[in-house]
Structure formats: C-alpha cells, structure tokens
C-alpha cells in the first residue's frame, strides 16, 4: 500500500509540473545568471545551468543583489555557498577492467542508466517518469537523437525494457511540452533535435508487434504537428519555389543559448557591431537563433551551416533546407501512414502517403545534383543548391529516397571523398569545428552503412563498418574509454574541435558499435 501511495504521489507531482509554466535559469536568476555566465565562473557554461539551488531562487537573487557591491565579495564563493554543483560523471568513476570492448559496453549500461527522476525545485532538469540512458560526460540528461543510436546497442544487449522506457519518456515529453526538447532540461525547451521518435517506435515494434504503432499514434501526430508548425511558435516549414513544403531547423528563441551564454553573446555582439546601429538588435537575434538552430540540427557546429564555409560568424542555419532532416520527415510521414492504416483510418493513411510522396519528389528535385551524383542541402535565400559536400548527402540511401542508379553514384562519392582510415568523415573541410573533418561520428557511420546496405552496396558498407569498429577498439585498448567522436583521418590522434573537451561514455558510440559487431564481427 505504501508503495502504491508513493507511486501515486509521484504521478501527481508529474501532472502538477506539466501544468505549471517552466522557468529557465535566466528567468529564475536574472542578473545573477548573466554575471555567472559572462564572468565564466565555470569553464563550461553548462555547469551552472545544471546546478541545483540550496534555497529558493528568489531568495538567492535577493541575497546576491544585497551582497555583490560589498568589499571582498566573491561571486565564485557565492555560487558555492548557494548552489549544489553537478556530480562528477559516473563514467569517469567507472573502473574498466574488461579486455573485450563489447563486454565493457554491456557492463557500462548500468553506469549510464538513470532511474525515474524526482522533481526538484529550482532544477533545470525536466523530470522523466521512467528509466533512461544518458550519453555520458557533461551530458547528464537524456538526449533526443542520441537515444535512437543508443537503442541499437540496447537491443543487442537484450535491454528491450529500457528501450520501451525511453520511448515512453519521449512520449511523455511530447505530451507535456508539445515536442521532444533537445534534452530534458528547461533551457532546451525552445528547440528539438533531429526527429527520430518515429524510428524509435518502429524499432520497438519489432519486439512488441504492430500494437506499438497504435499505442503511440496520438504522440506521433503531435510530433508531426510540432515539426509542421501547427502547435509551436516555430517556422520549420518552408514553401519551395514550386509550392511544395520542405523543412528546416528553427529554434523558437533568439537569445544566447543558456548553456553557452558567453560564447553566443560575444559572437552575436561582435556581428551586431559590424552591422551598424540601426540593425544591431536584429543581427544579434539572428545570430543567436542560427546558433540555436544549429544546436537543433545536432551538428553543432559545422561549416555546413556557414555562408562562407569557414567561419562560425557567418552561420545561417535557418537559411538552409537540410537533406537529412527532410529524410527524417519523410520517414515520419510514412510511419504515420502505417499507424493510421493499422488503426483503421484509411483516409488519413492515404493523405499521409500523398504528403510523403510529395516530400520525396521535392527532396529529389531540390537536393539531387545530377552532375556530381550526390545529394546537397539547398539554400533558401539564393534558391540554389549548396556546393559543400557533407556525409548527410548519403542519407537518402537510409531513407530509401534515392533511385538505384543514384545509389551507385552516391556510393562512388562516399568511397572517393568521405572514406578514411577510421570510417567516413563528416565533411571535407578542416575548420576546427567538431562536426567537420577530421572527425567521424557514430550516428553518421550507421546511417551511411545501413543506407548502402539498403541498395546492395555491401562491400563499401562492410569496409566502413570494419574501419569504424577498428578505430573504436583501438582507442578503447589505448584509453579504456568509448568516445563521443573519433579522428577518422589519423586514427592515432584524438578527435577535437567544438565548444567543450572530448567526452567519454558514450551512449551512441556504444550503441552503434554493438550493432556493427553483431553484423560484421569484432575483427
């Protein structure tokens, strides 16, 4: 009886929280938040927004205003006195004695697993009702697109119950907030991440049957409504020159990201000053929105989003139609059509099939480059294809949008341009950004490998897989760690770039590696 009462109390707490407006750290702490972030009290801006207050936020702010002008006041000490800092990542404390990397990963799931959350006043964490896997390192919460690739490994480990719990958590977030945030933090609520929820449902259905599609149909509808601008102040939809609609990344906010406040503020301020007095506010907000939207893409950051293909100062994410996002939207539409059909809603299924067919045709029309034999992103302002190749151009193979003839040509481009000693590289540009050369990332390897397999390009798929397995196992042998990303051009060096040091753990790397080992073996 006591356990039932506790469970009911937790459910009531979750219900209460979803009815309350969620306040972000900048709203809770105002000038204190800005001072902490701009004075760089912590090297990583994410540290403070993950802190938990020791008292009421309004009382802490009042105390700060009272004390900050006094002689000898230390902001760093004030934070230490009034906030509980995030705990050290569990994976750092984990002892890795296993020689076999697959055994290590299966043992590591417990270190990366978090039980259902309890609501904590003043915390930025959006509590989840079920267990979940975090990526590791500074990423202490669930992340949207990461989780699909993590699930691939959970499946190989027989952790179907954990997969279902994570799918239920994402369903909860969609019901509570209208979409899956970037991660379950209040400061992520203004954006999502690449929409993989439908693929998670599809994965779960292979274990639980078609009833899964019917169960999650209302949630899939809400996910689709968010990404087609029916339920949120976003502008994901873009009307193309022929009247068809394709999608882009678009964060609802236009202020600096709270977890990277100082970096965003400085860059936006610099660009605003160059624009002249009349346009400063407009330029500041545009830069912030494009940085935020770059984070929604998951590729944060890459020259893929830069106008000059070199400098983050020219970021223009919202001006781009990404081929991979539209592939995900196409898959969402086809899975929705299947769910409608299974639910006996034939008219709705037919309508969704028509929308999917239109999107597929538009992706080919606007993103396929016949001269090169590859898919490219498309720039809205110039009404032209972009010219910088990225591995995302191979994703139409994963979504089975490309024709067989296109697949053969795409495979040649992948082999000639992107295949490196440790797998496929993200872009062909060395910029210092983490989603550029020389780095390779687990989700991009899987999407490319599975895409090639879809079109019987099996030899190239196997080559990529075995090179990726090798770099993962070599780095593990040297360091005892599974990394967030890898240097695939020189496998003896660490991956670099980005806003933070390399992280270990690491959810999606673990998931993809276990899946590839199951397909190709360890050697």
Cα–Cα distance measured from residue 89 to residue 86, given in angstroms and rounded to the nearest whole number: 8
The catalytic residues are 300, 484
User: Looking up tokens 């958590």, which residue turns up?
Assistant: 169
Give 62's contacts (C-beta < 8 A, 6+ positions apart). Answer: none
Count of CB atoms situated within 10 Å of the CB of 358: 16
Tokens of 374: 């590859």
Residue-wise burial string across 60-70, b where 16 or more C-beta atoms lie within 10 A, e elsewhere: bbeebeeeeee
Q: Are strands 237-239 and 245-247 parallel, antiparallel or unpaired?
A: antiparallel
Q: Are 108 and 88 in contact (CB under 8 A)?
A: no
Q: Are 467 and 447 in contact (CB under 8 A)?
A: no
Angstrom CA distances, 337 to 40, 348, 510, stand at 49, 7, 32
Among 426, 417, 433, which residue's Cα sits nearest to residue 488?
A: 426
Three-state DSSP at 471 gives helix
Cα–Cα distance measured from residue 417 to residue 396, given in angstroms and rounded to the nearest whole number: 17
Three-state DSSP at 83 gives strand
Q: What is the 3-state secondary structure (H, E, C) of 220-255?
A: HHHHHHHHCCCCCCCCCEEECCCCCEEECCCCCCCC
Backbone φ and ψ for 519, nearest 5 degrees, come out as -90, -35
Q: Are 37 and 25 in contact (CB under 8 A)?
A: no
Q: Going along 327-465, which residue ranges are E strands?
A: 368-369, 374-375, 378-379, 384-385, 419-420, 423-424, 439-440
User: Looking up tokens 């991009």, which residue turns up?
Assistant: 444
Cα–Cα distance measured from residue 151 to residue 34, given in angstroms and rounded to the nearest whole number: 37
End-to-end CA distance of the chain: 53
């Amino acid at each position: 009886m006591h356990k039932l009462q506790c469970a009911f109390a937790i459910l009531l707490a979750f219900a209460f929280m979803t009815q309350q407006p969620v306040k972000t750290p900048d709203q809770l702490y105002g000038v204190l938040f800005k001072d902490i972030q701009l004075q760089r009290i912590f090297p990583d801006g994410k540290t403070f927004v993950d802190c938990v207050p020791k008292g009421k936020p309004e009382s802490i702010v009042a105390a700060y205003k009272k004390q900050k002008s006094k002689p000898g006041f230390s902001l760093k000490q004030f934070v230490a006195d009034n906030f509980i800092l995030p705990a050290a990542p569990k994976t750092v404390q984990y002892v890795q004695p296993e020689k076999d990397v697959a055994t290590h990963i299966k043992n590591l799931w417990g270190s990366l697993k978090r039980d259902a959350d309890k609501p904590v006043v003043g915390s930025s964490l959006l509590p989840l009702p079920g267990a979940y896997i975090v990526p590791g390192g500074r990423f202490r919460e669930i992340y949207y697109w990461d989780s699909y690739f993590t699930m691939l490994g959970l499946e190989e480990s027989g952790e179907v119950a954990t997969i279902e719990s994570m799918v239920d958590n994402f369903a909860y977030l969609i019901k509570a907030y209208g979409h899956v945030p970037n991660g379950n933090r209040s400061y992520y609520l203004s954006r999502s991440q690449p929409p993989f929820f439908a693929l998670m449902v599809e994965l779960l259905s292979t274990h639980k049957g078609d009833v899964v599609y019917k169960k999650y149909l209302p949630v899939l509808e809400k996910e689709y409504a968010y990404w087609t601008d029916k339920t949120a102040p976003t502008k994901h939809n873009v009307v193309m020159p022929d009247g068809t609609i394709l999608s882009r990344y678009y964060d609802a906010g236009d202020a600096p990201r709270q977890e990277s406040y100082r970096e965003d503020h400085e860059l936006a301020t610099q660009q605003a000053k160059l624009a002249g007095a009349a346009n400063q506010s407009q330029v500041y907000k545009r830069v912030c929105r494009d940085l935020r939207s770059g984070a929604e893409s998951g590729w944060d950051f890459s020259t893929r989003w830069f106008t000059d293909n070199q400098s983050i100062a020219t970021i223009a994410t919202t001006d781009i139609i990404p081929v991979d996002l539209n592939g995900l939207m196409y898959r969402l539409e086809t899975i929705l059509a299947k769910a409608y059909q299974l639910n006996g809603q034939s008219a709705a299924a037919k309508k969704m099939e028509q929308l999917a067919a239109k999107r597929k045709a538009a992706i080919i029309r606007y993103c396929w480059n016949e001269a090169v034999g590859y898919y490219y992103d498309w720039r809205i302002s110039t009404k032209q294809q972009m010219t910088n190749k990225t591995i995302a151009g191979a994703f139409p193979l994963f979504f089975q949008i490309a024709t067989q003839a296109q697949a053969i040509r795409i495979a040649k481009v992948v082999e000639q341009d992107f295949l490196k000693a440790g797998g496929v590289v993200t872009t062909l540009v060395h910029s210092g950004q983490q989603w550029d050369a020389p780095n390779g990332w687990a989700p991009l390897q899987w999407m490319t490998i599975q895409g090639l397999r879809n079109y019987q390009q099996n030899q190239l798929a196997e080559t990529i897989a075995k090179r990726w397995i090798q770099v993962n196992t070599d780095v593990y042998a040297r360091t005892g760690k599974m990394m967030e990303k890898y240097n695939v051009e020189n496998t003896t060096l660490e991956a670099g770039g980005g806003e933070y040091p390399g992280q270990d753990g690491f959810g999606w790397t673990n998931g993809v590696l276990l899946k590839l080992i199951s397909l190709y073996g360890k050697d």
